[in-house]
Amino acid sequence: MDFRIPGGVEALRARAAAFVDEELIPLEADRANYDPHENIAPEPLARMRARAKELGLWAPQAPRERGGLGLPMTARAVLYEEANRAIFGPVCLNCAAPDDGNISVLAKVGTEAQQDRWMQPVIDGAVRSAFAMTEPHPGGGSDPSMIRTTAERRGDAYVVRGRKWYITGAAEAAHFILVARTSDDARAGLTAFLFHADQPGWRIVRRIGIMGPEEHGGHCELEFDGLEIPAENVLIGEGRGLKLTQTRLGPARLTHCMRWLGLARRCVDIARAYAAEREGFGVRLIDRESIQMMLGGLAMDIETGRLLTMKAAWEIDRGGFARKEVSMAKIHVANLLHRAADTAIQINGARGYSTDTPLEWIYRYARQARLVDGADEVHRMVLNRELGAAGDAFFGWPVGE
Ligand SMILES: Cc1cc2nc3c(=O)[nH]c(=O)nc-3n(C[C@H](O)[C@H](O)[C@H](O)COP(=O)(O)OP(=O)(O)OC[C@H]3O[C@@H](n4cnc5c(N)ncnc54)[C@H](O)[C@@H]3O)c2cc1C
């Protein structure tokens, strides 16, 4: 067994670490660099994206021949964690959700023509994208079989009617992947489509207010009232929407874990720095055993998350679905992120609750981690199903040559 990473990946990691420490962390310290929704403002974003391109850190997930780094998941695990020690790191490298997952899935299943039209501009950073699946009650949320938005075939096109909500980035996205119902078939009833924001027949009903900072373009409720999508914009074929969803969401969940590990490390860094200088009752905080237990516990939980994430990444790189590995990583890292932000705020006292550090930003952001891309309970349900189906084999090791 070999836990070492290749020298080339270490070189990338070191370059990303320097970019984060020297350029992104100083930038995020100045609130003038934030937009009204607490994300990075357009001007510094454009500047930092240009820097990421110069440094060879741009679009780690995209194929090399299309201007990306073409990294496997194991290398992305290393790079994304490093990038998200800064809260704006991933968007500056073009590996933030939802563009990251949309590029990855289009690279995997899109036709050459679909990749040229829908994926390349997202890789280039010329447009943003969104993935529209979740619906208001009584439509599909945790359970995609409940999706009610319909796409009815009429000649060479499909006509879409229905509602979606919490669609990240929708207010600024140009390219959308939409999952809609094309039949009542339990397994083959859903189909994935591509559409452009400029097409008529849909609208943003509202940008939904949330407790945390927002991705660019917010989280929107959408209404479809006769959007026409040409048949050539169906992804991987009619009736294969569930397959598309699984292909996109497994790896996308894992990339969330990669990024959240970086945010958790940042929380620990901020807590350690304060504890090392702050004194009370004649003792430095860092010299108190109670504080040492908090920091030591977090360090162990981060390392556990890295091992779960890396094992799932390795499984995906060798062609597996990594369903149970991704579910375990997702539950663990989402909860770890929440705990890391909470503990770091506690150690920082009033300063932790202020906007003088990014801890309160991370804390508010972290709460969604336990809900999005599968709530903890849904992933535990999946794990229990896998355990029931596989029995002892659930705990089997893959066997080498
Ligand atoms: C910030 C944010 C961004 C998002 N971005 C997108 C996006 O870009 N595109 C998109 O399509 N969607 C997006 N979503 C929606 C997200 O994926 C859904 O919220 C998620 O899938 C859960 O669906 P739901 O909210 O309908 O919860 P529900 O399905 O109503 O579930 C509610 C709760 O019930 C419990 N529960 C559900 N199933 C089970 C079970 N089997 N066992 C036990 N308990 C269970 C869980 O505690 C769960 O949290 C986003 C949501 C948020 C908050």
Q: What pLDDT digit, counting tens, does each position of 201-218 carry?
A: 999 999 999 999 999 999
d(CA 222, CA 52): 33
pLDDT surpassing 90 at residue 3: yes
User: What is the pLDDT confidence band of residue 401, given thresholds at 50, 70 and 90?
Assistant: confident
For the chain, the structural domain boundaries read 7-124, 129-237, 242-395
For residue 377, give every residue at least 6 positions away whose Cβ sits within 8 Å of its Cβ, in sequence order, or none.
none
CA-proximal residue: ligand 1, atom 32 (nearest) = 142
Substitution candidate for ligand 1 out of 214, 372, 382, 383 with most atoms within 8 A of CB: 372
How far is the centre of ligand 1, averaged over its atoms, from the C-alpha of 331 (Å)? 14
Average pLDDT over residues 212-233: 98
CATH architecture classification, 7-124: Orthogonal Bundle (1.10)
d(CA 214, CA 210): 8
Q: Which CATH entry fits the domain spanning 242-395: 1.10.1060.10, 3.40.50.12160, 1.20.140.10, 1.20.1420.30? A: 1.20.140.10
CATH topology of domain 129-237: Butyryl-CoA Dehydrogenase, subunit A; domain 2 (2.40.110)
d(CA 395, CA 401): 19
How far is the centre of ligand 1, averaged over its atoms, from the C-alpha of 117 (Å)? 30
How far is the centre of ligand 1, averaged over its atoms, from the C-alpha of 371 (Å)? 5
d(CA 90, CA 92): 5
Closest ligand 1 atom to residue 132 Cα is 11
How far is the centre of ligand 1, averaged over its atoms, from the C-alpha of 377 (Å)? 10
Closest ligand 1 atom to residue 375 Cα is 49
Dump pLDDT digits (tens) for 368-390: 999 999 999 999 999 999 999 99
d(CA 337, CA 261): 7
Share of residues in the chain with pLDDT > 70 (%): 100
Average pLDDT over residues 246-251: 94
Dump pLDDT digits (tens) for 355-369: 999 999 999 999 999
pLDDT at 171: 98
Q: Which helix (H) or strand (E) holds 359?
A: helix 359-366
Share of residues in the chain with pLDDT > 90 (%): 99
Q: What is the CA radius of gyration of the chain?
A: 21
Dump pLDDT digits (tens) for 5-47: 999 999 999 999 999 999 999 999 999 999 999 999 999 999 9
Query: Other C-beta atoms within 10 Å of 20: how many?
Result: 23
Q: Which helix (H) or strand (E) holds 153?
A: strand 150-154
Cis status, amide bond into 60, omega within 30 of 0: no
Place of tokens 């991705």: 215
pLDDT surpassing 90 at residue 1: no
pLDDT surpassing 90 at residue 309: yes
Ligand 1: residues with CB < 6 A are 98, 131-134, 141-142, 166-168, 210, 219, 368, 371-373, 375, 377-378, 381
Instruction: Output the average pLDDT for the chain.
Output: 97
DSSP line for 36-78? TTSSB-HHHHHHHHHHHHHTT-S-TTS-GGGTS----HHHHHH
Average pLDDT over residues 332-352: 98
How far is the centre of ligand 1, averaged over its atoms, from the C-alpha of 222 (Å)? 16
